[in-house]
């Protein structure tokens, strides 16, 4: 009787919190978890930042849905095709795997062509400025998987992985599991050490994240686990599963805490161990996504292990609560992913007229929930599902779309964007000019004391001879980089003289055939155009792009003397027009640039921070993004005569403009300053003015003063901000 009484609570507990029990040959846990990965990708891609990012990570956590999707796909390939190989023979399994890869190829190509054309012609937020000057080459590139596009890059990766799966399956069937693992992990390690030499099977234009040599380790390791699932399961009896569940849960919680604490942890770690890592490299080295760095591998194992064990041990309540949503999405993941791409495009088109509203968390949350339900309903209705009856139509669809693309592209209605406009010719080495740091340095102490500006403009010295081929400018500040960093000259109508500027072009500028966002960075009063490189900007930017921590963009470093980057009062020098009109027009007509305000940023330090704010506040139709780093916001005391007094000063004062300038809600604004900076009170007043007016902006106060140490320390923060702002979808 006592035994019976004790069994009742256990039975009740098992009925409520029951663990997973296999039913048939299909592992429903994998479908459930892949469904969650699909949900996360839909949330992260539709609209913008939302409250649901707390569940998905918003593509900013130390691992993401993409890793889970690729890993689970590898598991399923190992389970399904391994079973077919044992039951029907390797030849049958290989044929079915190739058929699956063929279907995926048709789907990938069929989605890429219309998505690329529509996105570029309508200049949707993720458009990269692909040129249509050679439509045939563009179409062939898509058909041969030499070109991919936003949201399609992971499908290209999956297509290539599935195409190689029969070879991996052959090794498994032959008992060469260790050989397969050695090849896979050796390739991953080689990519960590020399990524440029391990870019296989070929370079894919438009693929900035899912590098095959690195990402294949998820797929083929999972394929091994899936093929040997029974042996692996025997290693983890129920008691050991509970222990691992607790340990992985604690590790997962630790990752969340580390993520929430942000860069402060890494800065503290580096401060305690100066020789350990460079501040600009720490996150790339440990958690870089494109390279699948070691920390990202560990984080992926922790998160997936925890979720898999949670699903195993708490299967019944999870299935009752979420099975209705996740199971259909997981069992039809490719269809669901394709459908969500269509929704992403439709939502982006619908939100185009609403500007800042696109960043409203409540709206994005509603859109993402609605998108999830729409995709779920389409899956349930099996609308446009590929079937044996329509297999022929699916097979010829890419060819039809390719012909349609060739017919549509000549009618590009937006020549002001990249589109059909002729791409700027690549720069010839013979036109590069030697590095020549130029400026009119004034001590910051003199600036703080309010010394007047020079009344005459010194004539810049053009270098007599070009630099040697391949040589980067400012070698004293810029080490070996893969991008190009040169000094250039152009004639400014506003200043009526030739002006120099430094230019950084990303590593793939000459080979990508696309346009890039542009960041104009302004120097301070005691500096010149070489000031930002002296703080490590170019090296940090180049490493971050190579490490796939940030998206590539062009950087322009103009020369501004002590002009405060604005038009002077009473008809004085027109430093403002020099930047916003002359320099911008010169860059847009000379290089492949994105020409929308939201793809053009301006920022600066000290005097440059003030000038950047004035430029953006006056002309949000030119600069849609602004960053002010320790801005020297002068009061109306007529010490600097060219700033004017009264209304003249108010037109040149960011604080006054923050109260009155129209359309500031269209801008993405960043302000930071050191807590011991002499300009802190005025910067705080600017922050309070924007808050009072309800203008969204980022406000950061960090330890430090108004000096190079402060800007050097936070250069990686600035680059991450500009990258996210310039590529925000």
Domain count, the chain: 2
Whether 93 has a pLDDT exceeding 70, the answer reads yes
Find out whether 596 and 586 touch, Cβ atoms under 8 Å: no
Same domain, 524 and 403: no
Q: Do 618 and 694 lie in a common domain? A: yes
User: Is pLDDT larger for residue 426 or for residue 648?
Assistant: 648
User: How many other CB atoms are there within 10 angstroms of residue 583's CB atom?
Assistant: 19
Domain co-membership, 404 together with 514: no
**Residue 495 and residue 390 share a domain:** no
- Domain end, chosen from 376, 411, 446, is at 411
Position 409 pLDDT exceeds 80? no
Q: Evaluate whether residue 577 is within a structural domain.
A: no
User: Tokens 């009925």 label which residue?
Assistant: 15
411, 440, 455 - which closes a domain: 411
Whether residue 90 is contained in a domain is answered as yes
Question: Would you state the pLDDT for residue 470?
Answer: 41
Least confident of 56-60, 584-588, 607-611: 56-60
Q: Indicate the pLDDT class of residue 665, thresholds 50, 70 and 90.
A: confident
Write the pLDDT tens digit of every residue in 301-346: 999 999 999 999 999 999 999 999 999 999 999 889 989 999 998 9
Provide the CB-side half-sphere exposure for 715 (13 A, CA).
25
Tell me, yes or no, whether 117 and 198 share the same domain: yes
pLDDT digits (tens, 9 = 90+) for 495-520: 888 899 999 999 888 877 788 999 99
Residue 555 falls inside a structural domain:
yes
- Residues 669 and 696: their CA atoms lie apart, in Å, by 7
| Domain annotation covers residue 421 | no
Q: Calculate the average pLDDT of the chain.
A: 82
Helix (H) or strand (E) holding 711: helix 708-726
pLDDT at 264: 63
In a domain, 558, yes or no: yes
598 domain-assigned: yes
For residue 440, what pLDDT band results from cuts at 50, 70 and 90? very low
In a domain, 441, yes or no: no
482 and 620 co-located in one domain: yes
φ, ψ of residue 633 to 5 degrees: the values are -90, 100
Q: What DSSP element (H or E) covers 490?
A: strand 484-492
Q: Do residues 374 and 502 share a domain?
A: no
Q: Please indicate, yes or no, whether residues 686 and 556 belong to a single structural domain of this protein.
A: yes
pLDDT at 5 over 60: no
Domain span holding position 497 = 478-565+582-635+653-726
Q: Residue 251 pLDDT > 80, yes or no? A: yes
Q: Does the pLDDT at position 228 exceed 90?
A: yes
* 406 and 483 in a common domain: no
On whether residue 645 sits in a domain, the answer given is no
pLDDT band at 127 (very low <50, low <70, confident <90, very high): confident
Residues 40 and 120 in one domain: yes
Sheet holding 668-674, edge to edge: 484-492, 497-505, 554-558, 518-522, 600-605, 625-629, 668-674, 698-702
Whole-number Å distance between alpha carbons of 463 and 533:
19
pLDDT at 477 over 50: yes
List the CATH number of the domain containing 683: 3.40.50.1820
The confidence score (pLDDT) of residue 438 equals 25
pLDDT tens digits for range 607-657: 999 999 999 999 998 999 999 999 999 888 667 778 888 888 888 899 999
The answer to whether residues 380 and 500 belong to one domain is no
488-493, long-range: CB < 8 A, 24+ apart: 488/433, 489/433, 489/460, 489/462, 490/582, 490/583, 490/586, 490/590, 492/578, 492/582, 492/583, 493/581, 493/582
Give CA 625 to chain center in angstroms: 16
Q: Nearest CA to 246 among 301, 200, 305?
A: 305
- Asked if residue 191 has pLDDT above 60, the reply is yes
Same domain, 484 and 391: no
Local confidence band at 411 (pLDDT 50, 70, 90 cut-offs): low
Domain boundary among 362, 394, 411: 411
């Amino acid at each position: 009787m006592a035994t019976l009484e004790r069994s009742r609570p256990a039975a009740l507990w098992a009925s409520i919190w029951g663990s997973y029990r296999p039913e048939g040959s299909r592992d429903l846990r994998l479908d459930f978890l892949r469904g969650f990965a699909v949900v996360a990708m839909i949330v992260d891609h539709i609209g913008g930042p939302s409250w649901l990012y707390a569940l998905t990570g918003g593509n900013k956590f130390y691992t993401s849905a993409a890793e889970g999707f690729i890993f689970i796909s590898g598991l399923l390939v190992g389970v399904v095709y391994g079973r077919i190989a044992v039951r029907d023979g390797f030849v049958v399994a290989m044929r079915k795997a190739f058929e699956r890869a063929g279907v995926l190829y048709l789907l990938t190509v069929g989605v890429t062509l219309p998505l690329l054309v529509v996105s570029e012609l309508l200049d949707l937020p993720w458009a990269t400025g692909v040129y249509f000057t050679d439509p045939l080459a563009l179409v062939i590139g898509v058909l041969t998987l030499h070109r991919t596009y936003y949201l399609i890059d992971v499908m290209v990766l999956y297509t290539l992985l599935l195409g190689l799966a029969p070879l991996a399956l052959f090794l498994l069937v032959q008992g060469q599991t260790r050989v397969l693992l050695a090849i896979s992990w050796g390739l991953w390690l080689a990519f960590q050490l020399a990524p440029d030499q391990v870019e296989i099977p070929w370079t894919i234009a438009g693929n900035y994240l899912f590098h095959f040599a690195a990402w294949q380790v998820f797929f083929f390791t999972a394929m091994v686990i899936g093929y040997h699932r029974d042996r692996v399961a025997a290693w983890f009896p129920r008691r050991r599963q509970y222990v691992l569940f607790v340990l992985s849960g604690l590790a997962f919680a630790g990752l969340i805490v580390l993520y929430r604490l942000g860069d402060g942890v890494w800065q503290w770690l580096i401060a305690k161990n100066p020789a350990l890592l460079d501040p600009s490299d720490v996150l790339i080295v440990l958690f870089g996504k494109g390279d699948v760095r070691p920390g990202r591998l560990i984080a992926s194992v922790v998160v997936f292990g925890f979720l898999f064990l949670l699903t195993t041990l708490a299967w019944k309540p999870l299935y009752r609560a979420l099975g209705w949503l996740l199971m259909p999405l997981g069992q039809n993941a490719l269809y669901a992913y394709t459908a969500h791409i269509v929704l992403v495009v439709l939502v982006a088109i619908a939100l185009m007229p609403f500007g800042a509203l696109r960043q409203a968390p409540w709206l994005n949350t509603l859109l993402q929930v609605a998108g999830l339900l729409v995709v779920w309903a389409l899956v349930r209705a099996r609308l446009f599902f590929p079937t044996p009856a329509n297999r022929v139509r699916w097979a010829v669809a890419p060819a039809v779309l390719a012909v349609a693309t060739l017919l549509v592209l000549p009618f590009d209605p937006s020549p002001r964007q990249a589109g059909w406009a002729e791409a700027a010719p690549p720069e010839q080495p013979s036109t590069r000019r030697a590095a020549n740091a130029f400026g009119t340095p004034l001590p910051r102490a003199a600036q703080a004391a309010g010394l007047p500006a020079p009344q005459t403009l010194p004539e810049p010295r053009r270098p007599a001879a070009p630099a040697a081929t391949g040589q980067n400018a400012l070698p004293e500040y810029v080490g070996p980089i893969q991008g190009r960093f040169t000094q250039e000259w152009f004639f400014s109508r506003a200043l009526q003289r030739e002006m120099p500027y430094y230019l950084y072009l990303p590593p793939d500028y000459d080979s990508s055939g696309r346009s890039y966002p542009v960041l104009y960075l302004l120097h301070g009063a005691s500096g010149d155009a070489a000031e930002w490189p002296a703080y490590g900007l170019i090296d940090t930017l180049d490493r971050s792009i190579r490490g796939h921590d940030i998206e590539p963009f062009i950087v322009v470093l103009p020369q501004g003397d002590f002009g405060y980057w604005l038009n002077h009062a009473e008809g004085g020098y027109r430093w403002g027009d020099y930047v916003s009109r002359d320099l911008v027009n010169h860059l847009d007509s000379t290089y492949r640039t994105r020409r929308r305000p939201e793809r053009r940023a301006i920022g600066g330090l000290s005097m440059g921070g003030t000038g950047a704010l004035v430029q953006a506040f006056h002309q949000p139709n030119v600069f849609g993004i602004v960053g002010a780093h320790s801005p020297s916001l002068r009061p109306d005391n007529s010490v600097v005569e060219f700033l004017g007094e009264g209304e003249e000063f108010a037109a040149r004062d960011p604080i006054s403009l923050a109260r009155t300038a129209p359309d500031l809600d269209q801008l993405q604004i960043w302000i930071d300053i050191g807590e011991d900076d002499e300009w802190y009170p005025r910067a705080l007043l600017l922050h309070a003015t924007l808050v009072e007016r309800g203008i969204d902006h980022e406000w950061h106060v960090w330890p430090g003063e108004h000096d190079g140490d402060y800007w050097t320390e936070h250069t990686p923060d600035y680059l991450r901000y500009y990258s996210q702002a310039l590529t925000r979808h």
